[in-house]
Amino acid sequence: MAELNNDFAKMFEESLKTRDDYAPGDKIEGKVVFIGKESSFIGLSGKTEAIIDTAELMDEKGNFIYQKGDIITAYIVSVRGGEVKVTTKLGAGEINLDLLHLAYQNSIEVEGTVAEEVKGGFSVNISGIRCFCPYSQIDLKSSDDKSQYIGKSFSFRIIEFKENGKNILLSRRILLEEEQKEKEKNLRKSIAVGDIVNCKVASIQNFGLFVDLGGMEGLVPKSELSWGRDASVEKFSVGQNVRCKILTADWDNKKITLSIKQVEEEPWMKINFSEGDIFNAKIVNIIPQGAFAELTEGVEGFIHISKMSLTKKIRRPEEILKKGDLVNVRLLSIDKEKKKISLELITDEADPWAMPIDALIDSTQTGIIENTKSTGVSVRLQNGMLGFIPKGELKSQNDIAKNYATGKEIKVLVKEIDKENKKLILSETGALKKEEESVYKNFINSNNSSSGATLGNLFKDKFDNIKNQVREK
């Protein structure tokens, strides 16, 4: 211990021999060259050393935060008799009003403890000297919870020193703003659009998340939380660590936009789906034409209303589906380039197309009109199959909507079968012609000339009657 004290004394003596010009309040940067029990030395320019209280090199638990050789930033407190004394901030050692006035004049930080809440702000204790910090100057953002500051120590800057120290006004906010500006400056140098950065959730809003980038906040819009349609802020919490991709950076207006979902590869780039694949999917949206179903996060397919039933007409998707339903679907087609998938709903209905259907060709069937267009009429047969009558195959080709009302029963002839698209080409005129031929054939087979009338006259009368019946239909 004696040897240590002798070394300290020797260094102190040497430090007095050469001093540069320093003034109270000057901000300096130096290297820790000696650590003593109560006082330590900071090496400045040339052979100049400054004295600092060793306590300032420690944290509140007494652990050293600076070691010999470390660079430290401090302020000149006094220059007396060649002795230069510095501090990182006033308050760690013995303080008097003269030192606080010096700190005020030279914008030196002071350390104080928030003692209590008073009218308009807080009473702050700096080594027994009572000071005042307004509510607006305690933090960057106002908070309803004032108790969070009581009993805690903070760095302040003196913004007013009046009545010989009887009225000392403090601000913590000024220091926080300066710190933030410095962080923003460093942040601007270290990140760029396209970078992946580690962030922390600062606050949660219904439109997205504000994340702390380490000196500046950025916004992750709700649409950038997840590749899925139903992105929700509910799965996030304040303080949670998240990885984000920087999308835009407007440094002048302090606006940074980020994405969480774009950290990962877009789902469409990873899928390996094929026609015929079956999925248990979630209905995420319903429109008049059909419903969107999520096959995997970020990948949706569309179920057209015509693909929701095998045997009946669905007029509104809501008749059988609602948002959030889990349903089984079959993939009909996929276009990865356009990011489009067509689906059909798998139901418990028996598929009429699974049965032998070749015998339907040239047969007469009864059906119900489901829809009319300028190009023809859609008909649902009794077996559940959907067919179409082109305009040229209709008996009445004028005013189709009036003559072929939805729900009306109609007889048709099956002309063609499209097995791939599960559609039939039908003909009304074909059914009428076949009926005429059948009636005529039956008449010829059953005719008895014993009536006394000629066969020609009988046929003419009967055929005229048949044609009139057909027209009436």
On the question of pLDDT at 4 being above 80, the answer is no
Please indicate, yes or no, whether residues 385 and 327 belong to a single structural domain of this protein. no
Please say which residue of 220, 238, 263 terminates a domain: 263
- pLDDT the model gives residue 10: 54
Please indicate, yes or no, whether residues 9 and 114 belong to a single structural domain of this protein. no
Q: Is position 105 within any domain?
A: yes
- pLDDT the model gives residue 94: 64
Give the alpha-carbon dihedral of 18, 20, 24, 28, to 10 degrees. -110
Round to whole Å and give the CA distance between 331 and 101.
79
Q: What is the span of the domain harbouring residue 322?
A: 268-345
Please indicate, yes or no, whether residues 472 and 403 belong to a single structural domain of this protein. yes
Please indicate, yes or no, whether residues 378 and 468 belong to a single structural domain of this protein. yes
Please indicate, yes or no, whether residues 281 and 241 belong to a single structural domain of this protein. no
- pLDDT the model gives residue 458: 55
CATH number at residue 150: 2.40.50.140
Round to whole Å and give the CA distance between 154 and 159.
15
Q: Is position 184 within any domain?
A: no
- Contact in structure between 33 and 41 (CB atoms under 8 Å): yes
On the question of pLDDT at 19 being above 50, the answer is no
**Taking residues 37-42, what's their average pLDDT?**
91
Please indicate, yes or no, whether residues 358 and 432 belong to a single structural domain of this protein. yes
Q: Is position 94 within any domain?
A: no
Please indicate, yes or no, whether residues 167 and 248 belong to a single structural domain of this protein. no
**Taking residues 392-399, what's their average pLDDT?**
90
- Contact in structure between 298 and 226 (CB atoms under 8 Å): yes
Please indicate, yes or no, whether residues 362 and 454 belong to a single structural domain of this protein. yes
Q: Is position 397 within any domain?
A: yes
- Contact in structure between 49 and 41 (CB atoms under 8 Å): yes
Q: What are the pLDDT digits (tens) for 403-458?
A: 999 889 999 999 999 887 778 999 999 999 988 888 877 777 776 544 445 555 65
Q: Is position 183 within any domain?
A: no
**Number of structural domains found in the chain:** 5
**Highest mean pLDDT: which range of 14-28, 122-136, 408-422:** 122-136
Please indicate, yes or no, whether residues 463 and 358 belong to a single structural domain of this protein. yes
Round to whole Å and give the CA distance between 286 and 295.
15
- pLDDT the model gives residue 9: 52
**Taking residues 99-119, what's their average pLDDT?**
89
Please indicate, yes or no, whether residues 82 and 107 belong to a single structural domain of this protein. no
On the question of pLDDT at 466 being above 70, the answer is no
Higher pLDDT, 346 or 352: 346
pLDDT band at 463 (very low <50, low <70, confident <90, very high): low
Please indicate, yes or no, whether residues 463 and 371 belong to a single structural domain of this protein. yes
**pLDDT > 70: percent of the chain:** 89
Please say which residue of 242, 263, 284 terminates a domain: 263
Q: Is position 152 within any domain?
A: yes
- pLDDT the model gives residue 407: 87
**Highest mean pLDDT: which range of 22-26, 135-139, 315-319, 379-383:** 135-139
Q: Is position 187 within any domain?
A: no
**Taking residues 394-407, what's their average pLDDT?**
89
Q: Is position 71 within any domain?
A: yes
**Taking residues 155-172, what's their average pLDDT?**
93
List the one residue out of 391, 394, 434 whose CA is nearest residue 410. 394
Please indicate, yes or no, whether residues 356 and 466 belong to a single structural domain of this protein. yes
**Highest mean pLDDT: which range of 78-92, 233-247, 303-317:** 233-247
List the one residue out of 448, 449, 440, 447 whose CA is nearest residue 467. 440
Instruction: Tell me the DSSP string of 368-435.
Output: EEEEEETTEEEEEETTS-EEEEEGGG-S--SSHHHHS-TT-EEEEEEEEEETTTTEEEEEHHHHHHHH
Please say which residue of 214, 238, 263 terminates a domain: 263
Q: What are the pLDDT digits (tens) for 306-347?
A: 889 877 778 899 989 999 999 999 999 999 889 999 999 988
**Highest mean pLDDT: which range of 15-29, 74-88, 126-140, 225-239:** 126-140
On the question of pLDDT at 192 being above 70, the answer is yes
How many CA atoms lie within 13 Å of 121's alpha carbon, on the beta-carbon side? 17
